[in-house]
Chain A
Amino acid sequence: MNHTTAGAAHNRPVERAEDTWGGAAEAYLKSSVHGDEAALSRIVDLLKPSGGAYLDVAAGAGHCSYAIAPFVDVVVACDSSPGMLRLIHREASNLGLHNLITTRGTADRIPFRSGAFDGVVCRTAAHHFTDVQRFLAEAFRVLKAGQKALVIDNVGNEDPDTDRRVHELETLRDPTHVRCHTAKEWKRLARRAGFWIDFEDVVSKPINAVEWLNRLNVEEPRRSEALFMIEDASGWFREHLRPHGSGDLLTFHLNELTLLLSKP
């Protein structure tokens, strides 16, 4: 989710993000992809949260925050969408997670003090950021020395034509989509921000196409165009998506990067 954009000069993206995400909050809370227990356990295993303060940047429906909260003193879910934040506020109360608190803010101007956090997580959101380099610099700034940031996001393809097609597909579904950087780009940007790379992997995630479009309530003609793009993919683009089945059972794949970073 993030859903996150810059300051006054980027007013409109924040408003557009709220149009898209505020109404999708409940669908994201129930999403089997975002709520996948194994994926959330892996986040806890990698970050190893133990006391202290943690920050969930572009928290979306709050899944990472709910997973981390039992292990820490406080976790702050930060997002630019009031709809998502109200949902997290409600769910935290329902789950008895009284150490989960929420703040409206953006990833490129994180509204927290330098060195305030013992861990930062940002999952499936950075492809909405207008300036990933600035987000990484901000994540570095708010971390205490020796602590870790975990970034998980869909990645593009090293082949420029395939990368462009993936971007077209993502934008058809979600007008707030900005860009899926490649794994190589992510590592370069992370190192430039000052991070060390502790761990990285890329996995291919199977996705049900209809559920993927339904989560954002994608309407015609964009819906049919997206489904056609998946089914009709050819060449390297088809290799990237690996479509299978049809109709409600149409599945395809997106590549997801996990990057565990540490602040020296």
Chain B
Amino acid sequence: MIDPKLLELLACPRCESRPPVELNGDLLVCTECQYAYRIEDGIPDMLPESAIPPDEWKREANSSHA
């Protein structure tokens, strides 16, 4: 799904401290602000405006597991 070397380099563009992101299902989730980024065709979409708010992606994740 995502190259492990890339995962080691990626950081959240919304947060000034550029904290790492973690793989959570199909999403990359910021370890600080908890906003999530999609991976489209193997390419992470790390535009700040593409970030999904935590309540939104967690709600979607919960409903898909229900």
Binding site for B on A (CB under 8 A): 7-8, 11, 14, 53, 73-74, 76, 80, 82, 85-86, 89, 101-106, 109-114, 116-117, 141
Q: Is A89 a contact partner of B41 (Cβ separation < 8 A)?
A: yes
Q: Of A14, A89, A112, which contacts B49 at CB under 8 A?
A: A14
Q: Is B48 a contact partner of A109 (Cβ separation < 8 A)?
A: yes
Which 8 A-B pairs give the minimum distances between C-beta atoms? Answer: A111-B46, A7-B48, A109-B13, A111-B13, A105-B46, A113-B11, A104-B45, A8-B49
Q: Is B43 a contact partner of A112 (Cβ separation < 8 A)?
A: no
Chain B residues closer than 8 Å to A11, beta-carbon distance: 49
Q: Is B43 a contact partner of A85 (Cβ separation < 8 A)?
A: yes
Chain A residues closer than 8 Å to B9, beta-carbon distance: 53, 76, 112-113, 116-117
B52 near A: Cβ within 8 Å? no
Min C-beta distance of A18 to chain B, whole Å = 11
Min C-beta distance of B5 to chain A, whole Å = 5
Q: Is B41 a contact partner of A106 (Cβ separation < 8 A)?
A: no
Min C-beta distance of B6 to chain A, whole Å = 5
Interface residue SS majority, chain A: mixed
Min C-beta distance of A227 to chain B, whole Å = 35
Q: List 25 A-B contacts (CB under 8 A).
A: A53-B9, A73-B5, A80-B47, A82-B45, A86-B41, A86-B43, A89-B42, A89-B43, A101-B3, A101-B5, A101-B6, A102-B43, A103-B6, A104-B44, A104-B46, A109-B13, A109-B48, A111-B11, A111-B13, A112-B10, A112-B18, A113-B18, A114-B11, A116-B9, A117-B9
Chain A residues closer than 8 Å to B50, beta-carbon distance: 104
**Bound: A111/B49 CA distance, A:** 12
B40 near A: Cβ within 8 Å? yes
Q: Of A80, A103, A114, which contacts B44 at CB under 8 A?
A: A103
**Bound: A74/B4 CA distance, A:** 11
- Which residues of B1-44 have CB atoms within 8 Å of chain A's CB atoms? 3, 5-6, 9-14, 18, 20, 40-44
